[in-house]
């Protein structure tokens, strides 16, 4: 006879449609706040910049106004 163990992380929560709507609205507000915070943290965006080969490394070519500034680079998966 096999024993089935219940995991502590497996909890079922039931919501009424009203509670679901309220939680969804709160989630939308929270996501909007986070998006706004991210926009303030990253004031400039450069989209679709290609990474060029340079010997055994790579370079990213950006517009001249970014010269001397600090940057964070996010590499997208293809």
Ranking 5-14, 18-27, 53-62 by mean pLDDT, the lowest is 5-14
- Reference 49, options 67, 66, 62, 68; nearest CA is 62
- For the chain, what's the residue count? 78
- What's the CA gap between 64 and 67, in Å, rounded? 6
What residues are paired with 57 via a beta bridge? 54
Average confidence (pLDDT) over 53-69: 86
Q: What percent of the chain has pLDDT over 90?
A: 3
3-state secondary structure of 8: coil
* Confidence band of 2 (pLDDT split at 50, 70, 90): low
57 pLDDT above the threshold of 80: yes
């Amino acid at each position: 006879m096999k024993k089935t163990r219940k995991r502590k992380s497996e909890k079922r929560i039931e919501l009424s449609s009203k509670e679901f709507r309220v939680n969804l609205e709160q989630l939308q507000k929270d996501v909007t706040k986070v998006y706004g915070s991210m926009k303030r943290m990253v004031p400039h965006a450069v989209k679709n910049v290609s990474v060029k080969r340079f010997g055994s490394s790579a370079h990213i070519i950006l517009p001249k106004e970014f010269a001397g500034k600090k940057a964070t680079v996010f590499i997208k998966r293809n």
